[in-house]
Structure 1
Amino acid sequence: MIVFISVIGFVIVQRIVELFVARNNEIWMRSQGAYEVGASHYPFMLAIHVGFFISLIFEFVILGRSLSANFLLFLVIFLVLQMMRVWVISSLGRFWNTKIIVLPGAPVVNKGPFRLIKHPNYIVVSCEIFIIPLMFGAYFTALVFTLLNLIILSIRIPIEEAALREVTNYKQVF
């Protein structure tokens, strides 16, 4: 139980800190002339992420799941994902956000993991949503929330890309 509380506590605190970072970045970006797009799907995305933690805690504690036999492998993958998460956020700097905030005329970030792939943050989050429950034998949570995340990303990514194509150099970069 202590391992579960430690890992999940770490991730929850990490997400709360990231919301403060995102809010500060949003304030700065809006002061530069940025605006939000796709706001209508954002509450659903938040609900998925909150639901993920509720489901994971319920499945582990109430349904009595236990550490996976592959826990150490999944833990290593999780730690690599955390390093990738930091790389993504630091590469985007003031432009990182949990919302889709676009700044007309701003150059699209094309450094760090963005040199290699278009949406590394979504890849990291998708992998986390799958791997974290697997660490604790929470297979229902892994499956259901991976599918829900893919659905919300199928809505979010086209909205984000269309907005970036419209007001930035996104077409030239990607």
Structure 2
Amino acid sequence: MYFILFISFLIIQRLTELYISRRNEKWLLSKGAVEYGREHYPFMVGMHTLFICSIVAEYYLAGDKQMDYLFLGLFILLLLFKFWVLSSLGTYWNTRIYRVPGAGPVKKGPYKLFKHPNYVDVVCEIAIIPLVFHLCYTAVIFTVLNAIMLTVRIRVENKVWAN
């Protein structure tokens, strides 16, 4: 029962993020934003979709796993951090890479502390979310896949903001 509630919450949260991203995309495009990294975006979406599928598959293949409240607590802290990141970026936050001509990178909230706090959050989420139900295979496999994806993505983003 807890797993169904947890995975339902996770899916609703991810769909809400896509909705916010789409809304922000319209605003960014109205400001003349240019998209970068379009070629890797479908792979990123696919990876995140497979991540959720893998959580469900491993949970049901492994049998009923008990919830780990320490990792659940860490996940809740990550949600609070993500909220801080997204609210700091405001309408500039997106799942895609956009740059509005003449605009510089955001320098408030966690962006005052380090360069890519959103990606720090994603790295932690990919590792921690499966561990809420002791799903170690999903945690390890998708941590590696995410590291590869973020290597590509951060390289593109750093190049965009270097100009």
Fold shared per TM-score above 0.5? yes
TM-score scaled by length of structure 1: 0.91
CA distance in 1, matches of 2:22, 2:94: 8
5+ long unaligned stretches in structure 2: none
Partner Cα distance (1:3, 1:104) in 2: 46
Instruction: Determine the structure 2 residue equivalent to 1:103.
Output: 100
User: Structure 2: how far apart are the matches of 1:151 and 1:30?
Assistant: 28
Is the 8 Å Cα contact of residues 65 and 137 (structure 1) preserved in structure 2? Answer: no
1:49-74 CA distance string (max 9 Å, x none): 00001111000012315125xx1111
Rounded to whole Å, the distance in 1 between the matches of 2:70 and 2:147 is 24
**Cα distance in 2, alignment partners of residues 42 and 97 from structure 1:** 12
Aligned to 2:33: 34
Q: Report matched runs for 1:16-95 at 5 Å.
A: 16-67=15-66, 71-95=68-92
Runs of 4+ off more than 2 Å:
none
TM-score (norm 2): 0.97
| Counterpart mapping for 1:112-127 below 5 A | 112-127=109-124
Percent identity, aligned pairs only, is: 47
SS for the counterpart of 2:40 is helix
**SS state at 1:36 partner:** strand
Distance (whole Å) between structure 1 residues aligned to residue 162 and residue 23 of structure 2: 24
Post-superposition shift, 1:107?
Answer: 2.7
Q: CA RMSD in A?
A: 1.0
- Supply the distance in 1 between the matched residues of 2:59 and 2:85 (Cα, whole angstroms): 30
Distance 1:119 1:3 in 2: 32
**Structure 1, 89-98 or 9-18: larger mean CA deviation:** 9-18
SS in 2 for 1:39: coil
Residue deviations 1:115-169 (CA, integer Å, cap 9, x gap): 1111111111111111111111111000000000000000000101111221xxx
Count of paired positions: 163
Is the CA contact (8 Å cut-off) linking 2:35 and 2:97 kept in structure 1?
yes
- Unaligned 5+ segments in structure 1 are 167-174
In structure 1, C-alpha distance between the alignment counterparts of 2:9 and 2:25, rounded to whole Å = 24
